[in-house]
Structure formats: structure tokens, C-alpha cells
Amino acid sequence: MDIPEKKKRIFSGIQPSGKITLGNYLGAVKNWADMQDAYDCIYCIVDLHAITLRQDPAMLRKQTYEAFAQVVACGIDPKKSILFIQSHVHEHAELSWILGCNTMFGELSRMTQFKDKAAKYPENINAGLFTYPVLMVSDILLYQADLVPVGEDQRQHLELTRNVAQRINSVYGDTFTMPDIYTPKVGAKIMSLTDPTQKMSKSDPNPGSYVLLSDSTDEIMRKFKRAVTDSDSCVRYHADKPGVSNLMTIYSAATGKNYEEIEREFDGKGYGVFKPAVGEAVDSLLRPTRERAKQLMEDRGYLEDLFSEGAARASQLAGRTMEKVCKKVGFIKKR
């Protein structure tokens, strides 16, 4: 009898901002759902990472619920995948301390995201902001992940993870799985609606620049009607037309049509017809997820059951790793 091949394990996390953008959805979260059958998937809401920036406690709790509900609404099945809230699994913080004692100051000093955030928030350059890459390393190694989906802005953190894993394995013997970068099929790169030279981001101070999964139909339509295009009225994909090209990319992702089909569909119709059509397509794409997330938010008890079950499953795996690590570094086992 053939023994089924063991699935590779994937780990990924998302910040509890409660604001999953259209770009986040198409570029990451939608892929999470698509990976569930082929991989052993572990996903979490990384609320420990969130507090490197000072948070309003009530808002953080609300946004953590929202992020969890949105991820489930996007198709993450808690029976297929392990889905939990990071702070509910204490081993993340415990392993982070041990790994921090095996991560060099120079390695952390070179992290570009620390430099960027320190420049952006000079009034709150705290120790957690400096050491949070170690917590990211802990998140990955705790579950012996084989693969980690990362964008270019996170590649440096995956390289740090591999360096730390290699160091621990060299000093203490085989301890951690060496993770690799998971490169999903190329998705649509969604740019800002107000500045199509910049990536769509929820941190943009102009809310008209991004579309959220939670946006109403009216909000989505208003944002697309005001989206930047150009003085020409021709719907054509070209490097000299970044605004229109961005809208075509979005329309293509929402409808499955290629650029040639889109150009034919809107030939001679102008932006006054094209931009509302993009808005309607995006609203149709996001509406089921938006409505499902709203239903989930109205049943907090059900959400709490889901993330409690997820934390229990995650803790089983995390506990095995921590027992192994504690023995390796010389801690006495608790009776």
C-alpha cells in the first residue's frame, strides 16, 4: 500500500488591524485559502507584533476579532488549517527569549523595517520594535514550518530565520526545520487609487487610496469614481498610463478577463463608464466576504470557540518544539 506523502507545513500571520485591503486579499489572504488542500497550513493573528506600536486596548481587541472574522470569511477553514491568535499560545514569547539570546545585535541592527519604523515613529523607538524580528523567527520555527509565504519586504526576516535556525542546529544539534520561501503564483500587484506609483496600503493617510474588505458598496463606488487616471480617455494598458493600468489590473483580477478583452469591452466608452464598472466588479468580488465577516462578528461566541480550538491545536505543536528546545539548551524539565 502506498503511504501518502506528508504535506509540507506553511506558516503565515497577519496583523490585527481589522483592515484587509483589496491588495492584501488578492496578494496574500486569497492564496492562504487556495493552499489549504495542498499544504499543512498554520495561520495566526499576530497581536504580539502589533504592540510594538502603542495601541488603544479596546481598539486592539475589536480589530483582533475583526481580523479573525475576515480571515475565516476569506475562506480559511479552521478544520483544514490551524487558525489562532498569537498571544493565546505562550510558547511564541518563550521561544523568542531563547532565540533572542542566539541572535546577534548586528543582525538586528541591519533590519530595514526597524530603521523605517524608527524614522516614522521617533517618539516610540522601544526595545520590542528592535527585537520583533526575533519574535517573527520564533513564530516560524516554533511550528517547524517548511515554507513561509513572504513578500520582498519580509524576505530579510526569512533570511534571519534561516541564520538563527542554522546557528541553533550547529551549536545544539538538529533542533529546527530549515524553512524556505514559498513563492505563490504571481498575483495582481494592486497600486494606490490616488497615487498609482505606490503600492496600495492601509497605512496611507488618505482612505481614498485603498479599498478595504469591510467597505460598503457606496464607499467602493465612490473610491473608484475618484481614482486617478489621466487626461486621455482611452482604456489601454501602458506604462505611460499607470492609473488606468492599475484599474485594468484590478478589473482583470475581479473578473478574470485579460487586458485585450478589457480594452475591447471599453473601446470608445471612456473613463466615465470604465471606473464605475471596476467599482461594481470589485464590490461583487468582495461582497460575499464582507457579508460573511459581518455575520461572524455578530456571533462572538462562535468566533471565540474557533480561536480557542485553534490555540489548543497550535499549543500542541508548539509544546513539542519547546520541550525539545528546553532540553537542548539545558533547562530542567518541569515535573
Could you say which of 8, 62, 80, 199 is catalytic?
A: 199
Q: Which entry of 19, 30, 117, 275 is annotated as an active-site residue?
A: 117
| CA–CA dist 72, 136 (Å, integer) | 22
Residue 264 CA to its chain's centroid (Å): 35
Q: Name the strand (E) or helix (H) holding 206.
A: none
Q: Could you give the CA distance from residue 147 to residue 24 in angstroms, rounded to a whole number? A: 19
Instruction: Give me the helices (H) in the chain, please.
Output: 22-24, 30-35, 47-50, 57-73, 91-100, 105-109, 112-120, 127-141, 155-172, 217-225, 242-255, 259-265, 271-297, 300-329
Q: Look at residue 212 and give its three-state secondary structure.
A: strand
Distances (CA, A) of 281 to 148, 253, 286: 31, 9, 9
In what order do the strands lie in the sheet containing 82-85? 82-85, 40-45, 9-14, 147-149, 180-182
DSSP string, 144-204: T-SEEE--GGGHHHHHHHHHHHHHHHHHHSS-S---EEE-PSP---PBPSS-TTSB--TTS
**List 8, 62, 80, 202, catalytic entry:** 202
Q: Report whether 200 contacts 23 (CB < 8 A).
A: yes
Catalytic status, residue 117: yes
The packing angle between helices 217-225 and 271-297, to 10°, is 150
Catalytic sites, residue numbers: 117, 199, 202
